[in-house]
Structure 1
Amino acid sequence: MTRRSVAQPVGTLITVATTGAETAKADAPGLPTTLDELVETARRCEQAGAALIHVHVRDDAHEPTLDLARLRETVAALRETTDLIVQLSTGGAVTDPYADRLRVLEADPDSCSLTCGTTNFGDDVFLNPYPFMRELYLAAREREIVPEFEIFDLGHLASLERLLGERGLPYGGRVHVDLVLGVPGALPGTTASLVAALAALPDAVTSWSATGIGRAHLPILAATLSAGGHLRVGMEDNLILERGRPVRHNVELVDRATTFATLMQRPPLTTDQARDLLQVRPRAA
């Protein structure tokens, strides 16, 4: 299915989701949970081809936190040491209250995640009622922060279409969605699910990426490139590089994504090209 609103890209936006809020440091020692580890990871992943970093922050006990001071410190450190587009998660952990998730925007990232509906998340429920989604959207636009619309279920695309119809386009005028496939209780990590989601994309969508959770990582990576999409990889979503071999560093996943994208004659976008794709604010001097 060809969508007039989604141009076939000449390159690939590679997003690295480094940490997440679910995996314990003890279970994945290579998970970057300190600021120094995150900065080192960001620099290596940028050199390997990533143009955007999706960030969750941990506290001194390596537990997920939405502490505003830590978020601000993290954004500043990443901007000082890399040219990456800095995207903060507004999802946090599934237990984080709405007020704390909204406050993430006060750290002034380039971009933020915006999940387009409530979904089952393993044994938990990730709550994203429409009024919260709308409030987060309007606050991001007021602060000139570009949202990335996270889609876990097909109904989320209908909610996104409703939001855009009622409230207009986001800051920058582009609409980028990320399809998250393989979370237990949400869209399965299959090519059929990817195709179904692409068929349901609102006409306003200008670009899209996808990620496969766990064992869906490689099949979704390959299917996404073949369908003209962009890639999200990282230890937030996948901890196994190959059978019997855990991921030791996020750069391994970025290296593999870069190899696949280059073989498909869609090499990684530079950070400047990615900013143009998403219409993110120019990098501050």
Structure 2
Amino acid sequence: MKPNLLTDKKVIITAAITGGIHGKWANPSLPLTAEEQAQDAFECYEAGASIVHIHVRGDDGQNTPDLKYYGKTVKHIGEKCPMIRQIGNGIGARVIEHKFTTKSGKKRLTTEIVQPSLEERLNLLNIDPEPEMHTINAGSFEFRTPYGGSLFKNPQDFNRKYIKRCNKKSFGIEIEVYDSSHITNVLEFVETGLLKPPLHFSLVLGIKGGAEANPANLLRMVDQLPDDSTWQVVTVGKFNLRTTVMAMCMGGNVRTGLEDTIYYGKGELAHNNAQLVKRMVRIAKEIGREIATVDEAKQILGLI
């Protein structure tokens, strides 16, 4: 599809409030518990967001596949506000620290990255109460973080199973692509009829192991999308704000939140997720784009 610099389509804002990488050590405002996430979601809703992207943490603050925590978080958010609740299919890795002493008596620390199993990720489709949306990650690659790298497995057969079960339960699907080859993977599902347009994409930039965050990559990926798609850019790191605004100017939607950036400005930690949402609402209005309500977002995404 081609970018539309003069689009009059309303902007859907997704708040990615927690994520699966950093903790309160990175930004003390990061919500971890179900109660904290529900309050942040409510504040983002009041600021203009219509979707909340969810990852959950266990009692130890680490990522967990335990449906008890997912159910509690989904329930609490639903009681606070009517946002579209979207589950991040990747869950997030656990970081295991190994402390040991060398033969010479020196203390050492190593870290191990443990990814959730594909079975644990499939089990997300059994969250109770049910959310409105799930994501799929459209291809495998080495996902590198400050802790180290590990293979983020998203084989085509796994995604096929996940999509079939989402279709059976009438869940909305957001497709996360980390480079151009992942879009090709998705188009195979369209050709077989498993995925039916219009599709909703997240174009993820800036993850080490995936596509670099730059205008050329964003333009290339948008050009590959089916014409009737909706899309947003997800940029992790220092280019977050500029690529997000660029995408909005091109006719895309918006994702913002502490999952993607812990900063509001250079060296300035964001106060909370709502502060980041308010900025995107302000910029959208400045360039002449109105903000989609929850009901309007549901209509655009085919959820009603």
Which residue does the alignment assign to 1:175?
A: 199
3-state DSSP of counterpart to 1:64: coil
Among candidates 238, 246, 249, match of residue 261 of structure 2: 238
Q: Contact 2:9/2:251 (CA < 8 Å) preserved in 1?
A: no
Match of 1:185 in 2: 209
Query: Does the CA contact (< 8 Å) of 1:214 and 1:240 recur in 2?
Result: no
The root-mean-square deviation of aligned C-alpha atoms, in Å, is 1.7
Aligned ranges 1:40-79 → 2 under 5 Å: 40-79=39-78
Deviation at 1:226, TM superposition (A): 1.3
Contact kept? 1:181, 1:213, Cα under 8 Å: yes
Q: Structure 2 length as normaliser, TM-score?
A: 0.87
Structure 1: gaps spanning 5 or more residues = none
Mapping of residues 267-282 of structure 1, within 5 Å: 267-281=290-304
Q: TM-score, normalised by structure 1?
A: 0.92
Aligned-pair CA distance for 1:169: 3.1
Classify the secondary structure of the residue corresponding to 2:192.
Answer: helix
Counterpart position of 2:2: 2
State the 4+ residue runs in structure 1 displaced beyond 6 angstroms: none
Find the counterpart in structure 2 of residue 117 from structure 1. 139
Q: Give 5+ residue unaligned stretches, structure 2.
A: 94-114
Q: Secondary structure at the match of 2:126?
A: helix
Q: Which has the larger radius of gyration?
A: 2
Distance 1:9 1:133 in 2: 33
Higher helix share: 1
Give the distance between the partners of 2:220 and 2:70, measured in 1 at CA: 36
Between the aligned residues of both structures, percent identity stands at: 28
Equivalent residue number for residue 187 of structure 2: 161
Instruction: Report how many residues are paired.
Output: 276
Query: Shift of the alpha carbon at 1:166?
Result: 1.4
How far off is 1:127 after superposition?
Answer: 0.9
**Correspondence 1:129 to 2:128:** no
Provide the rounded CA distance (Å) in 1 between the counterparts of 2:86 and 2:70: 11
Give the corresponding residue for 1:226: 249
CA contact (8 A) 2:63 2:91 kept: yes
In 2, the alpha carbon distance for the partners of 1:243 and 1:41 equals 23
Contact preservation (8 Å) 2:26, 2:262: no
Matches within 5 A, 1:74-153: 74-94=73-93, 95-107=115-127, 108-122=130-144, 123-153=149-179
Deviations, residues 139-163 of structure 1 (Å, cap 9, x unaligned): 1111110110001010000000001
